[in-house]
Chain A
C-alpha cells in the first residue's frame, strides 16, 4: 500500500490528494487534509480520479495507419515517421503548414516543451491549446484592462467577502470546491447575486437571481454601471488614483438606463437596480465568472465590462474582492502561462517583440524564431479547408468532440495530409489520425499544474504507465532529437521548469525545491519571493487600470422561424469534457450515461414531448439525436446540452463564429429546432 501526493486531473480548482496504490495498481484516493484549497474534501470527480487509469482501453503502443487501419508499431518507427512527415509537409507547403495543439491536461513542463518544439525546432508559431475555447476572451480582455489575464484573488478570499456576483459560472458543478466555499460564505452572511438564466444550484441560495437573456451580459453590466454612477456609488478615489479612461466609460453607459437595460435583458428594472446597489454597496465584493461570459462572439467585450464594474467600485487589489475568472481545466492556466499560444511565449511575452524573440532564440540555441503570430486553434479548421494547413500534431485534445461544428472538423481532420495524435485513449480524434502516440496519464508522471488561483503544484508519479506508453515530455524530447535538435535533453521535469523559470519573469522563483505542498502562487519573480495571493495590490500589472467602453452586440445567430430555440452548451457535474476519462469511470458514467438536452416543461408541452423522449435536434450545421430532459433549470425558449457525448454530440450543432479579438467560438448561443422522433 503506497500513497502518492498529487493534483486532481480534472478542474482548475487545484485540489490535492493522495493516490493509494497496491502492487502497482491504483485502488483509491485520499484527500489532503492540509491543503488550503480543498481542506480535506474533494468533489465526486476527485474522489474517482484513480478509476480510469488502468482501464483496458488505455493506449499501450504506438499506432500507425497501414492499409487504412491503425496498427501497432514500434516507438522507433512511429517517431521517425512523425518527424519525417512533419518535415515533408513543411518542405512542400512551408513552415506554417503544420500546427501543434498542446493540452491543458498536460503539465507546465510539457506545454513549455511543445511550444519550444513548434517554435525552435519546427519554426512555426502555430501552437495553441484549448484555452482558445474557454478563456481566450479573459486573456485578451483582462490583459487590456488590468495587464494580466489571471484570477486576481485567491480561493481563500471567498471566506472573507461581503457580496459575491456569480455570472456565467455554474460553480457548484464546474468548480465544486469553490462552489462549496460560496455556499458556506452565504451561510455565514455573504450575499450572493447569481446572473445566469439557468436555475443553477447557487441560484437557490442567492439573494438575487437574474435570469437575463442569453448573450445580454454587456447590457446587464452596462446597466448596472449606469445605476452605480447615477446613484453616486462609484469609488471616486480608486478611479482617480488607479485607473484611466473613466470619462469614456461613464459616457458610454449614460444611455443604459434601467429601462433600456430591462428591455435588452428581459429583466425588471428593479432587479437591475437592486443588483447594482448590492454589489456597489458592499465593503468587499468579488466577481466570479466563467464560460457563460467568455464563450460568445462578444466574449472579450463581456470581460471588459466585468473589469470595468470591478474598477468602478474599487473592488480590485484587496482581500475578498477582485475579478475571478475560474479556469476550467486542471492546467489551462499553466498552458497559457507556458506560452502554448500562437502569439505569446511563456509568461505572456509577445512573439512580435524582437527583444523577446532574441532572448528565447539565444536560450534555445537557434539563430532565429518566427515573428508572425501563429494560428489560433479555432481558425485551424478553416485554414486547412482553404488549403493553407496540411499537418496537425495534437497532444491530449479531442477537437472532434470539443470544437464547434463537428461536421466541418471531421472533414478537415480526415483530409489533412498528416494527423498525429498523442493521447491516453483512442479518442474520436485519435481514431482518424495517421499516427497515434500512447501517453502516460497524470498518475504516471512527474510535473506541475497551475490552478485557477495561479497556484503551481507538483504531481508525483504513483504507478507505471501501461505497456509502452510514455510521459508526454519524453515523447516531445524524442521528437526534437530525431528532428536533429540537441537542445531538448532533460533528465527530469524539474530541469524543464528551471529553463521555463529562467525565461519567464512571473515564474522566475518557481523551482521544484520550493514546490512542497501547498505550492507557490505566481507572480513569483525570484527565489526569495513568497508568491502572490492577491494581484494588483498597489498598481495594476499594466500600471493604471484601463476602462474600455463597450457597446452591446447581439449573438451571431438568433432564433427565427426555422430554428426557433436558443441552444446553449456546457458540461455536467459528473463528466469531464469529451468524456474519455469520466465515461470510463463506473460511478460517473452511471450518473450520466447518455446525451441529453434540457428543455422547459412549457416548451415540451408545446411540441408534445415527454421526459426521456428521443428528439432530433438540428441546426444549420448538423443534426443529432438525444434524450429530452424536462426541467425548470432552463427558461422557455432556451435549451441546454452538455458536449461530453460522442453519440448525440452537442458540437455537431454549434456555430464556429468567433470573437474577432480572442477567436473564441460562440458555444453559448446558436439556433436550433426540435422534433420528436416517433
Chain B
C-alpha cells in the first residue's frame, strides 16, 4: 500500500499524463461533477459517484463504427491508453457486468479496444458526499485510492497498477483499510435490501399491471434513466450518406422509447409506457438475474438522480416493496 498526500496529487497525475490520457473526476464550471479532462475543470476526487456513467469511457453516447470514402474503408487510429479515476465499487460492479455482456456471443470490438487499453482506478474511503464512507472496492480495478481523511492510501491490484505507483512512498498507517476489509461485507445497505426484495416480488409475479400503468403514466420518455445507467448497453445504428462518403455510427438507445421494439409493420410488443417501464425494471431485477446470475442494478443512484419525474429504479423498487411485500 502506497501513500499519496494531497500536495503530491498534481505532480502524480502530471507524471502519468506523459503516458496516459487522463480522465479524472472534475468539477465543471457550473459545479457539475463528472469524469473528464483537467482542461475542462479542476480535480474533484471527493464527492462520491460522479454524474454521467463512467462506463461511457468505453461505450460513448455516439461512436463511429465505420467510415467509407470513395469505396475505401477509413482506418481508425488506435485510441490512446486511458487512465480513468473515479469508479466507485458500485461502478466497478457495473463495469464487470457489462464486460461480461459485451464479451458474450459476438465480442464487441469497439468496446474492448477502448477497455483493454485502459487502466482503472477506484475511489473509496471517506471521500463520499459530505465525507461519507465509500466501502472498499478490493479489486476489479488496477488501482484503488482510499481516502483516510488526510491522505490517499493507494492499493494496486494489477501489474499495471503496481508499476504506476512504484515510485510512491509506502503508507505507514494502513489499519483503517484492514479494518474495513474485514467489516465491509457485513455492512448493511438499505437500498440493496429494497432492490433484492423488489426483485423477489417481481420474480414471484406479485406486481400487477395496474401498478405499471400508474408508474408508466409518469414516464415522459426522456430516456435519461437508460442513458445514465452504467449497465445499460442498448444502442441504435445509423448511416449518414453523402456524395462520396458513408459513415455508420451507433448511439445509446433506450427501452423507454416506443420505437425501441416497434416492428416495421407497426406492431409493438412494448407498445405502452406501462409495458416499457415494466420492462426497464423487470429486465434489471428479474430477467438479468436469470440470464446472468445477478441483478444488473448496482445501485449507483444515477437513474433516480436523472429522472425528471421521480421513477428511477430505487424509487420504483421502494414503491413495489411498500405496496406488494
By a beta-carbon cutoff of 8 Å, the part of chain A in contact with chain B is 1-3, 5, 16, 18, 20, 22, 26-35, 38-44, 46-47, 50-51, 55-57, 172-173, 176-177, 179-181, 183-184, 187, 201, 204-205, 516-518, 573, 586-587, 590-591, 611-612
Stretch at the interface among B6-14, B115-123, B125-133, B307-315: B307-315
Query: With A and B bound together, what is the CA distance between A533 and B157 in angstroms?
Result: 53
B194 at the interface (CB under 8 A from A): no
CA distance A496 to B252 in the complex (A): 39
Bound Cα distance from A20 to B28, whole angstroms: 12
Between A and B, 28 residue pairs with Cβ closer than 8 Å are A3-B41, A5-B30, A20-B61, A22-B60, A31-B32, A34-B31, A40-B306, A41-B308, A42-B224, A43-B220, A44-B257, A47-B222, A50-B62, A56-B240, A56-B241, A56-B242, A56-B247, A173-B220, A176-B308, A183-B218, A517-B30, A587-B251, A587-B253, A587-B254, A587-B257, A590-B257, A591-B258, A612-B266
Interface centre among B254, B266, B309 (most CB of A within 10 A): B309
Q: Report how far A620 CA is from B305 CA in the complex, Å.
A: 51
A517 near B36: Cβ-Cβ < 8 Å: no
**Which residue of chain A has its CB nearest to the CB of B257?**
A591
Shortest distance in angstroms between A131's beta carbon and chain B's nearest beta carbon?
26
**Contact yes or no, B220 A180, CB < 8 A:** yes
Residues of B within 8 A of A41 (CB): 222, 224, 306-308
Q: B217 and A204: CB pair below 8 A?
A: yes
Q: A32 and B220 in contact (CB under 8 A), knowing A27-B60, A47-B227, A591-B258?
A: no
Question: CB distance A30 to B30 under 8 Å?
Answer: no
Complex Cα gap A29–B251 (Å): 12
Are B310 and A187 neighbours in the complex by a CB distance under 8 Å?
yes
From residue B307, how far is it (CB to closest CB) to chain A in Å?
Answer: 7
Interface residues of B in 302-325 (CB under 8 A from A): 305-310
- Note all chain B residues with C-beta closer than 8 A to A5: 28-30
A37 to chain B, nearest CB (A): 11
In the complex, what's the smallest C-beta–C-beta distance from B61 to chain A, in angstroms?
A: 3
CA distance A590 to B264 in the complex (A): 11
Q: Which residue of B lies closest to A41 (CB)?
A: B308
Name the residue of chain A whose CB is nearest to the CB of B241. Answer: A56
- Quick one: closest A residue to B213, CB to CB? A204
Q: Which residue of B lies closest to A34 (CB)?
A: B31
What residues of B have a CB within 8 angstroms of the CB of A20 in the complex? 60-61
Partner of A18, one of B32, B39, B56, B242: B32
Chain A positions within 8 Å of B276 at CB level: none
Residue B138 CB within 8 A of the other chain = no
**Contact status A51-B62, CB under 8 Å:** yes
A55 to B247, CA, bound (A): 10
Given A56-B247, A590-B259, 17 more pairs with CB closer than 8 A:
A1-B23, A16-B30, A27-B61, A28-B56, A30-B32, A31-B306, A33-B31, A41-B306, A43-B222, A176-B222, A181-B308, A183-B220, A573-B221, A586-B236, A586-B251, A587-B254, A591-B257
Q: Does B37 lie at the interface of the complex (its beta carbon under 8 Å from any beta carbon of A)?
A: yes
B247: A residues at CB distance < 8 A: 56
Closest beta carbon of chain A to B263's beta carbon, Å = 12
CA distance A628 to B32 in the complex (A): 45
Q: Cβ of B52 < 8 Å from any Cβ of A?
A: yes
Contact residues in A for B227 (Cβ distance below 8 Å): 47
> Please, which residues of chain B bring their CB within 8 A of the CB of A42?
222, 224
B217 touches A201 (CB 8 A): yes
* Known A172-B220, A586-B236; contact A3-B259, beta-carbon cutoff 8 A: no
The answer to whether B222 touches A205, judged by C-beta atoms less than 8 angstroms apart, is no
Q: Which chain B positions have C-beta within 8 A of A177?
A: 308
**Cα–Cα, bound, A184→B220 (Å):** 12
Complex contact A183–B62 (CB within 8 A)? no
- Closest residue of A by beta carbon distance from B266: A612
Instruction: Give the contacts of B170-226 with A (CB-CB under 8 A).
Output: 217-218, 220-224
A interface, by DSSP: helix, strand, loop or mixed?
Answer: mixed
Select from chain A the residue with minimum beta-carbon distance to B27: A34
Question: A38 to B51, alpha carbons, bound, how many Å?
Answer: 14
CA distance A108 to B40 in the complex (A): 26
Residue-wise interface mask of B (271-313) relative to A, using a CB-CB cutoff of 8 A (1 in contact, 0 not):
0000000000000000000000000000000000111111000
Residue B63, interface by CB 8 Å: yes
Report the minimal beta-carbon distance from A89 to chain B, rounded to whole angstroms. 35
Beyond A34-B30, A587-B257, is A179–B220 a contact (Cβ under 8 Å)?
Answer: yes
Q: In the complex, A55→B62 CA distance in Å?
A: 13
Contact with A along B16-32 (1 / 0, CB 8 A): 00000001000011111
> Please, which residues of chain A bring their CB within 8 A of the CB of B240?
55-56
What is the distance, in angstroms, from B110's C-beta to the closest C-beta of chain A?
13
- What range describes how many residues of B lie at the interface? 35 or more
Distance between Cα atoms of A591 and B253 in the complex (Å): 12
Min CB distance A461 to B, Å, is 14
Q: Give A179's nearest chain B residue, CB to CB.
A: B220
- Tell me if B113 is interfacial: C-beta within 8 Å of chain A: no
Q: Does B2 contact A (CB under 8 A)?
A: no
Question: Contact between B222 and A1 (Cβ–Cβ < 8 Å)?
Answer: no
Most buried by A among B31, B63, B259: B259
Residues of B within 8 A of A31 (CB): 32, 51, 224, 306
8 shortest interchain CB distances as A-B pairs:
A28-B61, A180-B308, A56-B242, A517-B30, A41-B308, A586-B238, A34-B31, A590-B259
Contacts of B23 in A (CB 8 A): 1
Cβ contacts under 8 Å, A33 to chain B: 31-33, 51, 305
Set B60, B222, B245: member contacting A44, Cβ < 8 A:
B222
B39 touches A47 (CB 8 A): no
> Across the two chains, which residue of chain A brings its CB closest to B64?
A25
- Residues of B close to A3: CB separation below 8 A: 28, 34, 36, 40-41
How near does chain A come to B217, taking the closest CB pair, in angstroms?
A: 5
Chain B residue contacts of A55, Cβ below 8 A: 240
Q: Name A177's closest neighbour in chain B (CB-CB).
A: B308
Q: Contacting A29 at CB < 8 Å: which of B30, B61, B259?
A: B61
A2-B40 contact given A180-B309, A590-B259, CB 8 Å threshold: yes
Which residue from chain A places its CB closest to the CB of B245 in the assembled complex? A56
A590 to B217, CA, bound (A): 22
Give A612's nearest chain B residue, CB to CB.
B266
Query: Shortest CB–CB separation between residue A164 and chain B, in angstroms?
Result: 15
Bound-complex Cα distance A16 to B29 (A): 12
* Whole-angstrom distance between the Cβ of A571 and the nearest chain B Cβ: 15
Residue of A nearest to B221 (CB): A44
Question: From B214, which residue of chain A is reached at the shortest CB distance?
Answer: A204
A32 to B31, alpha carbons, bound, how many Å? Answer: 8
* Docked-complex contact B62 and A1, CB < 8 angstroms: no
User: A32 contacts B32, CB within 8 Å?
Assistant: yes
A31–B61 Cα distance when bound, in Å, is 13
A573 to B256, CA, bound (A): 14
- A2 in contact with B37 (CB, 8 Å): yes
Point out the residue from A32, A46, A187, A591 that lies within 8 Å of B259, measured CB to CB. A591
Tell me the bound Cα distance from A55 to B249 in angstroms: 12
B contact residues around A16 at 8 Å (CB): 30
Closest to B34 in A: A30
Smallest Cβ distance from B25 to chain A, in angstroms? 13
Instruction: State the CA gap A43–B240 with chains docked (Å).
Output: 24
- Chain B residues near A591 (CB, 8 Å)? 257-259
CB distance from A590 to the nearest CB of B (A): 4
| B242 contacts across to A, CB distance below 8 A | 56-57
CB distance from A199 to the nearest CB of B (A): 12
| Bound-state Cα–Cα, A173 to B273, Å | 14
CA A140 to CA B220, docked complex, whole Å: 33
Q: Is the CB of B51 within 8 A of A40?
A: yes
**Which chain B residue shows the least CB distance to A591?**
B259
* Cα–Cα distance between A517 and B251 once the two chains are bound (Å): 29
**Which of B34, B56, B61, B236 is close to A590, meaning CB atoms less than 8 Å apart?**
B236
A30 contacts B224, CB within 8 Å? no
Closest to B256 in A: A44
Q: Is the CB of B257 within 8 A of A518?
A: no
